[in-house]
Structure 1
Amino acid sequence: MQYTEVEKKFALPDPAALKAKLDELGAKPSEPTRQVDAYYNAPHRDFLAPTVISDWLRLRTEDRGSSINFKRWHPVEALIKTHADEYESKVDDIEAVRKLLEALDFKPMVTVDKTREEWQLPEVEVVFDHVVDAGDFVEFEFKGDAENVEDATARLDSFIASLGIKLGEPVNRGYPHMLLGREH
């Protein structure tokens, strides 16, 4: 399942109980890092035009380095997405990539500024995000070997249920959706 992302996101009013449970399971947090994600719209296909947004092109800048990422969420027309095709690569010169995109008429559409703390377990990565102007969230991403998306989703759901922690409402949209005021 290389290049496929399966994750679940929830609002998180109080992360302390979840962090205590993760600590109990032996997970250790990374140092929090600030990530500034600039999202771009393509000149040949307006990512914002469909009723349900499924494509995102992102440049990320953080202390650990920079990256470029494209995601296409599936099912494309569905309101609730189950997984994404994800293509990401490190970037040595982020300003050169910005200038390249601008020269090709890609337009900046929104910037997501967040602080992220990652907790690693054998098959699941748990990420705590504080997003400026949006709030606090937790993402659970399946990182193990799975037969297919359905298998990965079932194992992720099982892991989340096994925690026995009350989470906030499920979130079925990305941070750019929130900051752009889009429901889908």
Structure 2
Amino acid sequence: MAIEVEIKLKIRDRQALAAKLTELGFRPGRLLRETDVYFRAKHHDFAERDEALRVRETEDLETGEKTAQLNFKGPKLDDASMTRREMETNVGDGGTVRAILEQIGFTPVIPVEKVRNYFHRGRLTACVDQVTGLGEFLELEILTESEEGRSAALTEIEEVLRQIGHSMEDTTRISYLSQLCSKLENEI
């Protein structure tokens, strides 16, 4: 089980940000379409516990390759970022996994769809996202195996934020799913 140290930042111009990341030494990575289906259950209140269970289906937009993962995210570990313990495993067929979860009492929530462009620099991953219904975001993340690594990872992320003209105060701790649910509630 890894600890994912992560921030999320609303942005205005994906292309300008991608150019800035490249200028800062990030290497462009894969361009993917990711569809996340989150689940809730009567016997386990994920929202109250600040946890998430999802099936992610991914399509590489350059090769057409498709993959799927089952993922569990624990509660946020601090008050400043999206840092959580995370467990993930590849699965053969996302649709089958969703059907299994539904058969045993889990209910899907609205899907979160995004086109995600990955960038990498050392252990740091930058994701420049176009999220359907929400707009453009930057996620910066570092995976660490220990509690001791969390602080150093967050410091490294904060430095990149500073280099692109932002600070932790500009970030949000609200997940894409929560933002979409809130938006739907406000439209009703």
Aligned 1:12-161 pairs, distance under 5 A: 12-48=11-47, 50=48, 54-63=50-59, 64-75=66-77, 80-143=80-143, 147-161=148-162
Partners of 1:38 and 1:110 within 8 A in 2: yes
**In 2 relative to 1, CA 143–99 (structure 1 residues): closer, same or farther, beyond 3 Å?**
closer
**In 2 relative to 1, CA 27–124 (structure 1 residues): closer, same or farther, beyond 3 Å?**
same
**In 2 relative to 1, CA 120–42 (structure 1 residues): closer, same or farther, beyond 3 Å?**
same
Partners of 2:36 and 2:57 within 8 A in 1: yes
* Deviation (angstroms), 1:150: 1.8
Partners of 1:113 and 1:131 within 8 A in 2: yes
The 1-side partners of 2:164 and 2:33 are apart by 29
Moved more, 147-156 or 115-124: 147-156
The 1-side partners of 2:54 and 2:139 are apart by 18
**In 2 relative to 1, CA 116–11 (structure 1 residues): closer, same or farther, beyond 3 Å?**
same
Q: Which structure shows the bigger proportion of residues in helix conformation?
A: 2
* Deviation (angstroms), 1:166: 4.8
The 2-side partners of 1:20 and 1:81 are apart by 25
Partners of 1:18 and 1:165 within 8 A in 2: no
* Deviation (angstroms), 1:66: 0.4
Structure 1: which 5+ residue stretches go unaligned?
A: none
Moved more, 148-157 or 23-32: 23-32
Number of residue pairs the alignment of both structures matches:
175
* Deviation (angstroms), 1:129: 0.7
The 2-side partners of 1:79 and 1:153 are apart by 12
- TM-score computed with the length of structure 1 as normaliser: 0.84
Partners of 2:4 and 2:144 within 8 A in 1: no
Partners of 2:82 and 2:173 within 8 A in 1: no
- TM-score computed with the length of structure 2 as normaliser: 0.82
AA at the equivalent of 2:76: H
Partners of 2:129 and 2:137 within 8 A in 1: yes
AA at the equivalent of 1:41: R
* Deviation (angstroms), 1:109: 1.4
The superposition leaves residues 84-121 of structure 1 with CA deviations (integer Å, 9 ceiling, x where unpaired) of 01000101122221121011110011210111000011
The superposition leaves residues 33-83 of structure 1 with CA deviations (integer Å, 9 ceiling, x where unpaired) of 1111101002311223x3xx61111101122400010101224xx765551
Partners of 1:38 and 1:58 within 8 A in 2: yes
Cα RMSD after superposing both structures: 2.4
Structure 2: which 5+ residue stretches go unaligned?
A: 60-65, 184-188
* Deviation (angstroms), 1:156: 1.7
